[in-house]
Structure 1
């Protein structure tokens, strides 16, 4: 379990908008866990926690105004209003003005602002107004869209809230002081309620069991075989056992106290009750977070990819803008005008709408996926969802119905036995740990078959909780006699390891080789029928008044009684879902802790090609190089531990796959975090949900397939904008260079370039709502920088061909060939340039023939038509002189139509050749 808590801790940060802080947190800690030689706990928090550790549990409850039965709801509400939520301060969203500033402060807007100031100084108020409007519009659009996106994401994430089990005084029960009532480990006079973690306050008494997260810094009240994984804080690879009384050296630090629990850790096994001492900023976790906020925010991998694309275009601008400056300055002699023009070229090359387009596209994708019962915790995860080409999943509940029924209860020889059912029922009924589906199936079946007096005939004495190393759990019960009965239930091999005999009717036989062979034969036969076999054993124990509690050492010398066998039928939707995923290029690999016989039967039933099943014991012996080969060649892995699952995910990732992992248990947390995209369900344990990027409201591969498609659709629309921006910018600069070298005047004024760029950017706002061709959705899609650069070089100059034709027509046909007629020339190129940019959206958005074989969504069509109309109206309308344009002769428009048609035909021809040679992403 080495990485369980590190996985959880990172995901805990991520789930609360802290992903960017985690790298800073690691830097502050020197990439080390908190411990010797690392960052120390703040003195005030350490002092308070040490005092809580040394204080008797009863006194601590009194000090906090609580009792063993917890706070009343009214008292908790008063504290909540006074102390606030159990959240660290930096998790609060930015104030509106801070968000607005963030939307403005990018290199592109700063560049535009400089240009506006220069225009103002030179008394060009029209240019100042247009440029200023562009800055304001770009900033406001991004601000509004991101605000809407953040609110949508918050609403989605609110659907997946984590809760803690809190003790409340039962109605009508008088709440008293802790010192008067003592400690009642049965919690008489209390009720258990689920409270959102953010609503917890100091003094709350919480009940903990395997899989629970520690929601705040706490002091233990009761504990039973409690093991906590806190490696992310202390560096201890193995879980540590916690006790009610600290037995260690009083000189040790607060983190080493055995009776303290810390936010950011989780329960591996055992049960406990604890009182919350500190919440929010006062926790050790909160103190670390406060230090992290002093550093700048980091950048996620997805955003880093977007930034790389942006800076490619900016570097291109930094090369081309000076070149335009030199050519125009030398050719025309007016260096000031050349400088303004070069600056406007630089602005035209900047993808200032890229952040907004990306955010809008991701947000729309998240909203659509929510309607398909897929909740996106991180918008950036949508890209990985679409890029995923290998899905690793558990068997139970994913391939199967997650509706386990107890099919048989037999002795060790396969003969039906009610006695085995009775003891299995007592074990499941009295345990207080993490009740799984098998326990629920036992209870449901037994309550229909047995008399209800069995519940009251025995009283619980103690229990030995389940853990993943023993793979069994025990309860100790008594029925009034002089002996206690230990009932142990778990995996067959683990039960046999602590058994000395086996029961058959009235006989008790020794476990010799022949008997063991018979036992394994019966179990294998049940497994081959698709039944999950759980063994049941027992042992009578003499009552020892001096014995404080029972433990793992008492699980010895047991007598095997028989089996309870469960059936989890395959889902009807599993087979078609597997086929659909395969059709979309996603390979499914089954990673399960179940045995190979049951796994083979279930996989065969759902049509999954099994081949050889690789077992966890084999993986244990493999080096990483061998494992990389094995994970490629095989589809099904059984009898795995959490560490095995994590290794398999890492091996697939090292082979170049984008790996998704779907899990819902505490043992899935390491693999969930190791995967490129962690997928869980709303019914999963807290740690699994916090480790996941995507939460499914329905545990179905069919739902997952819909999410994959939406992820690819979202990525496709982002890629469209990037391709359009890159190719269009390249073509524009090429055209400007040609025109600057041969014309005695500027081919377009800085004002014209800015207005054209503004109109073009506005037309792109509808891209997130565009349709995507089915062919694009059939295979995983990833960022491909090499293809983007090649695409820009091939398609950018195509527009320049028709720009140069426009120059020729304006020069020779319409006699716009002198400085006196430059406004006509500039108006003609302004309209042609804007309409060709609007047209290229439809040409490049699909590999097919636009408008005929693939049509854009109505929002994109309407927006494009509106911008084209505005582009024609500006020189032809009454405001033309404000923009230094003039009306074009009607004879110009047939030439315009011919050039646009030629541009479309040439682009379509090059597109077909390009797709055949290089493919089409």
Structure 2
């Protein structure tokens, strides 16, 4: 047809699902030729015999079961697009990526429901859905024409076939009623649903309009990187959560302890140099928390503000009692001069504060789930430097080695009391669904059944 003079051309779109051209043959005879989806073209065809119609339908069905896409060519003399004669069927194979099934399975394991929306026929969609292992049945686009039916069947469906661009947007709005929704796509028709989604993802070969609309643009082929992004983001979430618990407790320990001692004694337990050094030494382990390993969440995590505050406050109260008892011992039992008490408090705050990381970084018992080697190395280095500085007396009053040993034993003892506080919070404060505690429990159950 491309070599013949064209007098009219109607391009295909999502509504017509076919392209139509009118060409002129010898003697200026017009012919109309149509190429498009079998369901759209068949309605315009007139089969010479019943046998040919049956063979046509059988070929289309077999192609759908194989997962092949079919395009039908039909034509007739004249310019009217009716009673066309079928000329042939083109079969196109669009193979799935090798990592597609693995990626879908990994998302299921992470508590993410995957639904497929495609403009292909329902038989092809069912074949693809079966190959990928999608949960739920595959339904045709008619479900979007009735809001009540959509509400009833949306959750049960694993895929939607023969969808129009507007149907994708409708599907996103329906899913957002009860879920956090991420959508991925590559074409202009995917712009509205990706813009409507909570997280819009453009694949590597997406059109410019879609890339500018999406929240995330993939720079590699395939969607397996989405799985990696989900896992890493959940790890980051838990690291930030544990850090916030640690920071609440450390702030309470430091501010309340210094304030109380200043009001009760009339003097402060730290010198300006010690405060500066304490801030520097505490920052080293905090930076290393970015490399800490955490339990990979198999469900979307959420912030349990109430429980986080209670947990951080519990740790903080334990630290305040720790400091006040130590002050009484230093004054009434050891009878240390104030200069040594200040050095004692500096070392105690560094050692106890760093030991708290072992407790705060996990919901499990601290000795069952150690931090990463980077965190342990930074904690050990910080504690060594603080101990050496307290013994040397550089810019401070030196303390004897027996006081240093006492501080270490004392800090380890109160570490266990703080751990008891964590156990009590876990037992008596209900955890919100998706909170770190429920994630740990879910991980334990998964390991037990593995």
Give the secondary-structure state (helix, strand or coil) at the position aligned to 1:534. Answer: strand
Please say if 1:576 is aligned against 2:114: no
- Answer 1 or 2: higher relative contact order, Cα 8 Å, separation at least 6: 1
Provide structure 2 residue ranges, at least 5 long, that are not aligned to the other structure: 440-450
Secondary structure of the 2:20 match is strand
Cα 1:802–1:574 shift into 2, 3 Å: same
Q: Which residue of 1 aligns with 2:73?
A: 536
Report matched runs for 1:57-96 at 5 Å: none
Equivalent residue of 2:399, what SS?
coil
Kindly provide the CA deviation profile for residues 423-468 of structure 1, in whole angstroms up to 9, marking residues without a partner as x. xxx5xxx5xxxxxxxxxxxxxxxxxxxxxxxxxx546666322322
Q: Report the Cα offset of residue 726 of structure 1.
A: 1.7
Which residue pairs with 1:618 in the alignment?
Answer: 143
Partner of 2:411: 900
Note the 1:339-738 alignment, pairs <5 A. Answer: 458=4, 463-477=9-23, 482-496=28-42, 499=44, 501-504=45-48, 523-541=60-78, 556-557=81-82, 559-561=84-86, 562-611=88-137, 613-622=138-147, 627-655=150-178, 657-738=179-260
Deviation at 1:526, TM superposition (A): 3.9
Q: Deviations over 1:792-848 (max 9, x none)?
A: 2232222223222322222223314xxxx3332222111111222222223222234
Residue 658 of structure 1 deviates from its aligned partner by 2.2
Residues 221-247 of structure 1: per-residue CA shift (max 9 Å, x gap)? xxxxxxxxxxxxxxxxxxxxxxxxxxx
Give the Cα separation in 1 of the matches to 2:414 and 2:24: 89
CA apart distance, 1:557 = 2.8
Q: Tell me by how many angstroms 1:784 deviates.
A: 3.6
Would the alpha carbon gap of residues 716 and 614 (structure 1) be closer, same or farther in structure 2, given more than 3 Å must change?
same
Query: TM-score, normalized by length of structure 2?
Result: 0.83
Match of 1:804 among 309, 319, 324: 324
5 Å-filtered alignment, 1:257-336, equals: none
| Cα separation, 2, equivalents of 1:784 and 1:615 | 40
Is the alpha carbon distance of 1:640 and 1:540 closer, same or farther for their aligned partners in structure 2, counting shifts above 3 Å? same
- Over residues 303-355 of structure 1, what are the superposed CA-to-partner deviations in whole Å (9 max), with x where a residue is unaligned? xxxxxxxxxxxxxxxxxxxxxxxxxxxxxxxxxxxxxxxxxxxxxxxxxxxxx
Aligned-pair CA distance for 1:503: 4.9
Query: Which of 277, 298, 316 is 1:778 aligned to?
Result: 298
Provide Cα deviations, 1:5-63, integer angstroms capped at 9, x if missing partner. Answer: xxxxxxxxxxxxxxxxxxxxxxxxxxxxxxxxxxxxxxxxxxxxxxxxxxxxxxxxxxx
Give the alignment's Cα RMSD to 1 decimal: 3.2
Q: CA, structure 1 residues 755+536, in 2 after alignment: closer, same or farther (shift >3 Å)? A: same
Closer, same or farther: CA 902–481 of 1 in aligned 2, 3 Å: farther
Give the conservation status (yes or no) of the 8 Å contact 2:143–2:150: no
**Could you tell me how far apart the structure 2 residues matched to 1:672 and 1:620 are?**
21
Structure 1-normalised TM-score? 0.43
CA contact (8 A) 1:731 1:796 kept: yes
Q: CA deviation at 1:519?
A: 6.0
| 1:876–1:887 Cα contact (<8 Å) kept | yes
Equivalent residues of 2:393, 2:399 under 8 A apart:
no
Cα separation, partners in 2 of 1:477 and 1:658, compared to 1, 3 Å = same
| Structure 2 equivalent of residue 764 of structure 1 | 286
Unaligned runs of at least 5 residues, structure 1:
1-425, 431-456, 542-553
Q: Distance in 1 between matches of 2:287 and 2:315?
A: 22
1:132-211 correspondence to structure 2 within 5 Å: none
> Which secondary structure state, in structure 1, belongs to the residue aligned with residue 200 of structure 2?
strand
CA contact (8 A) 1:496 1:560 kept: no
User: Which residue matches 1:815?
Assistant: 335
Determine the C-alpha separation between the residues in 2 that align with 1:663 and 1:790. 43
The equivalent residue for 2:352 is 836
Q: Report what 1:826 is aligned to.
A: 342
Deviations 1:272-331 (A, max 9, x none): xxxxxxxxxxxxxxxxxxxxxxxxxxxxxxxxxxxxxxxxxxxxxxxxxxxxxxxxxxxx
Q: How far is 1:524 from its partner?
A: 4.1
